[in-house]
Structure 1
Amino acid sequence: MLAEALRMLEHAGMIDHSGHASILSAEGRILINDAVAPKRRVGPADLVEIDADGALLAGSGRPPLEFHIHTEIYRRRPEVRAIIHLHPRWSTLLTMVGAAFQPVFAQGALLGDVPVFDDPMSISTRAMGEALAACLGPGSAVLMKSHGATVVAEDLTACFALAAYLEENAERQVEAMRIGQPFVFDAAQRVTIRQRLHTPALFRKTWDHYLARLG
């Protein structure tokens, strides 16, 4: 399922040669894609298992340089069981010009407040991973200035769906900003949307939509 998610993310243009996704087992083992396998054809053999400190437990590949994103968020957020670090075009454009992420379509409101991590460098140390996790706080996503985004959730299906909503909302926001001031859902509307739409059924529908696009 993790390999499938990576292929869908690449096909949709949300992840490139350097993105990664992980899931956390009940035993505390982190399953993550290796550092070199092309995402378009990633399979089970291209996944590795690491522990909470990034040490290789299983698999023949090398964990991604930014494994600290995953280890530090899992350490801080015990309810999180899936993490995706992506390099999405539209979401990253917002950070390049200092424009705040604003929910301009319903699913975008499911992400809640989306902070920006104000350091464009790779998350290549534990200290940087800790800083990113602190910036994320209790939220579902954090944008990373001129770099990308990280999305977290209670399972991989929800995490994938939220990543898709983040990028689709950002695309609509950027395009709307070209012609005027976008409509933004207010606080009360956002609460209602989260109550109605934050459901496994919607997340699965989104997953199935992107899976079908793989052909």
Structure 2
Amino acid sequence: MDAQVHELKLLVTKAVRMLERIELLDNNGHVSVRIPGADRFLINSRKASRASLTVHDIVMCDMEGRLVEGDSEPPSEFHIHTEIYRRRADVGSVIHNHPHYQTVLGIADIPLKPVFGVGAFVRDVPMFEDSSLINTRELGEQVAEKLGKASSVLLRHHGTVVASENVQSAFTISVFLEENAKKQYDAALLGPNMRVLEGDNLERTRSSNWQPSIIQKLWTYHQEKAEKQGALNGIEDDKEDDHR
């Protein structure tokens, strides 16, 4: 179990660092993963910088958000994670992002549409209207209910929530949604005759662009690019040791 938990902490840390590098996270936002076979989850701590997060900044909580392991509290919006995990046995990872283009489209009241190959899985992304911090159980329940069986919900004026089976697939959905939103935004600037994916073409594109091999390929690409740029340096360092 200790080795498994460490590997999950490492995945969460990498995902946070990589999402921050591509500006889907900023000084806020969080990634969690459910610990298999236990009513526990791991999440980046509230106080830790997303840019310099290490595995020592990942805390373990129960499904009430109470700290089980770690020396810092979870983010105040942990209710997003706990309430989705309660309702969705199929979900193993939840990410709360602050992406630019999806948020802008939401502000403009423009629904997300499948316009790009890797965004072909976009369909009827629900909109949550309360833009405040999701820092109560009641708000967490409302977000989870709005998400339903979907993989993403847009929080108007705020950001997005992504839920999927594991960290790598939740990361991939996060990246693909924003890539699709960028294309939709740019195409909207060129005129009213936007062509969206639909019908058989949409279904073929959707099935061909959402495969385990593509999820792993995207994760590996971003991990190797982050490593090359030094964005994953010190990921397993103990910051307290560095100051002794």
Normalising by structure 1, we get a TM-score of 0.97
Is residue 118 of structure 1 aligned with residue 129 of structure 2?
A: yes
2: CA distance, partners of 1:106 / 1:189: 10
The residue aligned with 1:198 is 210
Pairwise CA distance, 1:188: 3.0
Q: Is the 8 A contact 1:22 1:31 kept in 2?
A: yes
Q: CA deviation at 1:114?
A: 0.9
Residues 1:14 and 2:24 aligned together: yes
Residue 203 of structure 1 deviates from its aligned partner by: 0.5
RMSD, matched Cα: 1.1
Identity of aligned residues (%): 37
Q: In the alignment, residue 83 of structure 1 is paired with which amino acid?
A: V
Q: Deviations over 1:168-207 (max 9, x none)?
A: 1111111111112322111433322232222111001111
Q: Distance in 1 between matches of 2:200 and 2:72?
A: 47
Structure 1 stretch displaced more, 186-195 or 3-12: 186-195
Contact persistence 1:116–1:145 (CA under 8 A): yes
Residue type of the alignment partner of 2:168:
T
Q: Deviations along 1:61-111, whole A, 9 cap, x unmatched? A: 110010000000010111000110000011100111101001110111224
Q: C-alpha deviations, 1:123-170, integer Å up to 9, x for none? A: 011111111011111011011100000111111111100000011111
C-alpha separation in 1, matches of 2:112 and 2:15: 24
What runs of 5+ residues in structure 2 fail to find an aligned partner? 1-10, 229-244
8 A Cα contact 1:88 1:149, kept in partner: yes
Judge conservation of contact 1:48–1:59 (CA < 8 Å) in 2.
yes
Q: Is it true that 1:135 corresponds to 2:146 in the alignment?
A: yes
Amino acid at match of 2:221: H
Pairs aligned (count): 215
Distance 1:112 1:189 in 2: 14
Q: Structure 2 length as normaliser, TM-score? A: 0.85
How many angstroms apart in 1 are the aligned matches of 2:60 and 2:176?
28
